[in-house]
Amino acid sequence: MINRFFKNIDKPIPYEGKDSKNPLAFKYYDRNKKVGNKTMAEHLRFSVAFWHTMLGSGADMFGGPSFTREWRTASDPMQRAKDTMEANFEFLQKCGIDYWCFHDRDIAPEGANFAESCKNLEEMVGVAKKYQNETGIKLLWGTANLFGNAIYSQGAGSSPNAHVMATAIAQVKNAIDATKELGGENYVFWGGREGYETLINTDLKKEMEKMTRFFQMAVDYKNKLGYKCQFLIEPKPCEPTKHQYDSDAATTLYFLKEHGLYDHFKLNIEANHATLAGSTFEHELAVASAAGKLGSVDANRGDLLLGWDTDQFPTDIYSTTFAMMIILDQGGLGTGGLNFDAKVRRASNDPTDLFYAHIGGMDAFAKGLLVAQKMIEDKALSKFIDERYSSHNSGIGQQIMSGKATMEDVDKWVRGEKNPVLQSGRQEMLENIINSYIS
Ligand code: XLS
Ligand code: CA
Ligand code: CA
C-alpha cells in the first residue's frame, strides 16, 4: 500500500457497522456484502474526482488557498503532477474506492504550446497507468478541460473562432487517447463554456451546428479506434456560462435526437446541476432513465440557500434512496458509476477531512441502496403505483392505449358513463412508508 501523504491513516478504512463510533470507519458501506444479486461495490461503483479531491485548494472568489496539501508543494510542475498522482492512488487505496475520474489538464500541466501540453499528458498517463496496474484501481471516465484556458472564454466546440474550435477538437482527440490508454469505461463531455452570455453577439443556430460537428467527430474517432467506451454528456444549465446548451436531461436528449447523435451518447447526471436547473436530482435521474439514457452519476449535493454549484458531499439519505431506487429499477449503471464530484468546504483544511467526506458520501449511498433494495423487494411503492395505473389494463383505458379506440369511440363511451371517480394519490401515506424504511 502506498503510504506517503496520508500517513495518519495506516490501513484501508474498515467497515464497522452502524453502531461504531469510529469516524474513520464505514457504518453502512460493506463492499463485499451482497444486496440482491450484486455486492455493494458492484452496485455503487464509487469514484474519486481528481480535480476536487487532489487539486482542491479551498480558494474561493474572496480568498486564496486554505488547505494543507503536501503533494502540491513541489516547485517543478511535472514533479508536482507526479506527487499528486501518487497521492491520488494512495487515497483511493486507503478509502477502498475502485475508480477515479480526471480532466486532461488536472493530471498534467499545460506546456508553452499545445504540442507540449500533449507531451506532458502522455507522460502523466504513463505514470497513472503504472499505478493502475499496481493497485488494480480503474478509470471510470476521462474528459477534456475545455473551460479553464482563456481561449475557451467564448466557447470551445461551439466557438465562433475556427482556430479555437479546432484546438478544442484536437484536445478532445488527445483526451480520448489518454482515456483509452488507461482503459476508461466512459468518456464525459461537459460544456461549461458551450453556451452564450448574450444573444446580441451570438448565432445560436450556427453554434448548435458546431456542437453537432464537434460531437460527431468524437464519435467517428472513437469508432475508428474501435474503442468500446460509453460517451456521456453532462447537463448543467449555467455556470460558468449564463446559458449552457446542454441545460438539463430533456434538453440534451432533444439536442441529440434532433442532430442524429442519439444512439451514441448517454447522460451523466449530477445532483447539483439538477437543482441549479430548478429540478430535483431524482427528476433528472428519472428523465434520463425513462429514456434508457442514464449512464453515470456525479454524486454530490447543492445548498438550497446558495444559488451556485457548491458541489458538497452527499449526505441526505432521502435523496440517495430515491437515486438508488431509480438505478436499481433500471438494472444498475452499466459501465457508469457514482463519482464524487464534490469538494470539502473551505474550512475543512486538513487532508483527513477528505476521508471523512468520502466515507460520508459512500455511507449515504450504501444506506440508500439498502433502503431502496428493501422497498423494491417489498413493493412498498410499486404496488401502489401499479394499482394507480391499473384502470388502463382493461376496458376503455386499454382500448385508448392500444390504439384501438378512436376519438369518436371514446366520446361515445364517456357519454354513456357516470362521472369519473378519482382515487387518492396518497402522497402523505407513501412519504410515511418511505420514512419507516429509512429509520
Ligand atoms: C462542473 C462539472 C465538471 C464535469 C467534468 O460543474 O461538474 O466538473 O463533471 O468536466
Ligand atoms: Ca460534474
Ligand atoms: Ca458541479
Give the pLDDT confidence of 134-147 residue by residue, as tens digits.
999 999 999 999 99
Residue 43 annotated in active site = no
Catalytic residue among 106, 177, 246, 298: 106
Which residue type occupies 280? T
Q: Which run of H or of E encompasses 128?
A: helix 114-135
Across 117-134, average pLDDT = 98
Q: Averaged over 44-55, what is the pLDDT? A: 99
Nearest-CA residue for ligand 1 atom 3 is 190
pLDDT at 87: 98
Whole-number Å distance between alpha carbons of 156 and 189: 11
**What pLDDT sits at residue 72?**
98
Q: Single out the residue of 225, 221, 216 nearest to residue 264, CA to CA.
A: 216
* Per-residue pLDDT at 97: 98
N-to-C CA span, the chain:
37
Taking the C-alpha atoms of residue 16 and residue 2, their distance in angstroms, rounded to an integer, is 23
How does residue 232 score in pLDDT terms, banded at 50, 70 and 90?
Answer: very high
Query: CB under 8 Å to 334, separation ≥6 — which residues?
Result: 230, 295
Q: How wide is the angle at C-alpha 111 spanned by C-alphas 109 and 113, nearest 5°?
A: 145
Portion of the chain with pLDDT greater than 70, in percent: 100
The reported pTM is 0.97
Percent of the chain with pLDDT over 90: 99
**Cα angle vertex 321, ends 424, 306, to 5°?**
95
Ligand 1 centroid distance, CA of 190 (Å): 6
Q: Would strands 338-340 and 186-189 be described as parallel, antiparallel, or unpaired?
A: unpaired
Mean pLDDT calculated for residue range 160-175 = 98
The average confidence (pLDDT) of the chain is 98
Contact 98, 139 (CB under 8 A): no
**Ligand 1-lining residues (CB < 6 angstroms):** 103, 143, 188, 190, 192, 234, 236, 270, 298, 309, 341
8 A C-beta contact, residue 335 and residue 295 = yes
Per the CB < 8 A criterion, the answer to whether 19 and 26 are in contact is no
- The yes-or-no verdict on residue 313 having pLDDT over 90 is yes
Grid cell listed for 237: 444549465
Name the percent of the chain in helix, strand, coil, to the closest 5.
Answer: 50, 10, 40
Q: Taking residues 410-419, what's their average pLDDT?
A: 98
Residue spans per domain, the chain: 34-377, 382-438
CATH 3.20.20.150 assigned to domain 34-377? The reply is yes
Q: In the annotation, is 273 catalytic?
A: no
Q: What's residue 439's pLDDT?
A: 86
Asked if residues 159 and 147 have their Cβ atoms less than 8 Å apart, the reply is no
Q: Answer whether residue 58 shows pLDDT above 90.
A: yes
